[in-house]
A = this chain, B = another copy of it.
Amino acid sequence: MDNSLTQRQLEVLDAIRQAIALTGAPPTRSELARALGVSSANAAETHLRALAKKGAITLLPGAARGIQLAATLTESAGLPVIGRVAAGQPVLATGHIEDWHRIDPSLFHPPPDYLLRVHGTSMQDVGILDGDLLAVHATKVARNGQIVVARIEDEVTVKRYFHSAHHVILKAENPEFQPLTIDLRTQNFALEGLGV
């Protein structure tokens, strides 16, 4: 299928984006027509069908304002901000969600799954200060030297990660903090994610 859009169709797409940015919701046919400077809502309807046919948008039949921008343009839905994590609970339990931030995941690699509010100054030498938000990619594996979100017993911390056969060493990025050594045979340790 030929996905190239005409000049006018690009203007239509832009008008839809502007409407979403302005009101928080996609426009109706008449709103869109007004934004485009035409007097008939049907002109907008025709444009929408053309755009849907080319895959630039998706139309939800029978729903008011049922216009969705194609995935590549809109996927930056938003990430939850996690505050303090209570002991013994999974990080992503809904109760911990403090807020939502719209971040473009493509700015990071690998893509983050949530934002963790960091408490304490143990990582300040790599620019992670008390109260900062750290973008975290949820994973159970990490390589030596990476910055990880780890759970020791019931506590969640952010540190630089090193492992050997039966031990894990977590180093802070602040000379005031001692490296932490965990014996995997006696202590409960789990990786929650990777700082990105």
* Chain A contacts to B: CB under 8 angstroms: 14, 17, 20-26, 28, 60, 64-69, 73-74, 76-78, 94, 97, 99-104, 107
- Interface class of chain A by DSSP: mixed
Residue from A28, A64, A104 having most chain B Cβ neighbours under 10 A: A104
What is the count of identical protomers in the complex?
2
The answer to whether A60 touches B23, judged by C-beta atoms less than 8 angstroms apart, is: yes
The answer to whether A101 touches B76, judged by C-beta atoms less than 8 angstroms apart, is: yes
The answer to whether A100 touches B78, judged by C-beta atoms less than 8 angstroms apart, is: no
The answer to whether A25 touches B77, judged by C-beta atoms less than 8 angstroms apart, is: no
The answer to whether A103 touches B104, judged by C-beta atoms less than 8 angstroms apart, is: yes
In the bound assembly, the distance between CA atoms of A73 and B99 in angstroms comes to 8
The answer to whether A24 touches B74, judged by C-beta atoms less than 8 angstroms apart, is: yes
Residues A77 and B28 in contact in the complex (CB < 8 Å), given A102-B103, A103-B103, A104-B102: no
Q: Which residues of B contact A103 (CB under 8 A)?
A: 102-104
